[in-house]
């Protein structure tokens, strides 16, 4: 799923320009080391000119695209009457807008069965992540993987049982990286998110052997955090 955001680039041509979309397919903000596909399509009003599209790397010479090709793309929101939208206001020198509460609630409902984790997307691309999701999680339904930026990924499940199963495991090993998951919450932003968890080994010195059953060991570990697994030593005793 692409992430879309509005930009206001400086347009040297006369007349207003509308940006159709800006799609980013990689959650890592370091464009020098991550794969990115950026499409900036500008259509000048009243000029009859075609739109300009950048190369897939975001650099190089732009290629001219016909108006017919741009117009043939699926567009969303064309059927909505702009006069029915909230009227913008001002707070000092900044514009303000009241969001539509029903639309916000719909967006929250869409994201409810979602988990958020972080990976180094320089060492592992998005296609590899999707392949590991299918291999490791063995889901009965669908899982949509969406990059959020700075290596953060949102995993949206369409089935409650898949969501619960993956969440109960807590952390997963994706190749050599540990994927630590947390539940998605409204107003999530990568700018304020920090990594505050780390995996550690815990020992119970002097623990009598009758308490070395796996579930009991995990139960004791749960008093300190989310238990992951026990080592092989308990099997050799």
**Domain locations along the chain:** 1-78, 104-183, 200-237
Mean pLDDT by 10 residues, the chain (237 residues): 43 43 40 39 40 42 59 78 92 94 94 94 93 95 94 95 91 89 90 65 86 88 78 65
Instruction: State pLDDT tens for residues 120-155.
Output: 999 999 999 999 999 999 999 999 999 999 899 999
Question: Any idea which architecture 104-183 has in CATH?
Answer: 2-Layer Sandwich (3.30)
Q: Encode the chain in three state secondary structure.
A: CCEECCCCCCCCCCCCEEECCCEECCCCCCCCCCCCCCCCCEEECCCCCCEEECCCCCCCCCEEECHHHHHCCCCCCCCCCHHHCCCCEEECCEEECCCCHHHHHHHHHHHCCEEEEECCCCCCCHHHHHHHHHHHHCCCCCEEEEEEECCEEEEEECCHHHHHHHHHHCEEEECCEEEECEECCCCCCCCCCCCCCCCCCCCCCCCCHHHCCHHHHHHHHCCCCCCCCCCHHHHHC
pLDDT of residue 63: 55
């Amino acid at each position: 799923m692409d992430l879309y955001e509005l930009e206001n680039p400086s347009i040297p041509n006369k007349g207003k320009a509308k940006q159709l979309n800006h799609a980013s397919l990689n959650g890592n903000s370091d464009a020098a080391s991550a794969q990115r596909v950026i499409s900036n399509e500008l259509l000048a009003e009243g000029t009859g000119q075609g739109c300009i599209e950048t190369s897939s790397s975001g650099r190089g010479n732009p290629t001219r695209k016909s108006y017919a090709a741009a117009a043939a793309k699926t567009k969303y929101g064309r059927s909505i009457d702009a006069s029915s939208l909230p009227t913008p206001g001002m707070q000092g020198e900044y514009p303000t807008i009241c969001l539509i509460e029903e639309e916000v609630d719909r967006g929250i409902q869409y994201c409810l069965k979602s988990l958020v984790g972080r990976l180094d997307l320089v060492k592992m691309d998005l296609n590899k992540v999707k392949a590991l999701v299918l291999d490791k999680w063995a889901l009965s339904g669908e899982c949509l993987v969406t990059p959020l930026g700075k290596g953060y990924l949102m995993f949206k499940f369409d089935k409650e049982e898949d969501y619960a199963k993956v969440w109960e495991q807590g952390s997963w090993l994706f190749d050599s990286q540990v994927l630590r998951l947390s539940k998605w919450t409204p107003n999530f932003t990568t700018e304020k998110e920090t990594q505050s968890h780390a995996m550690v080994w815990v020992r119970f010195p002097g623990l009598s052997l009758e308490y070395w059953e796996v579930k009991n060991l995990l139960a004791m570990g749960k008093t300190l955090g989310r238990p992951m697994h026990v080592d092989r030593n308990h099997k050799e005793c």
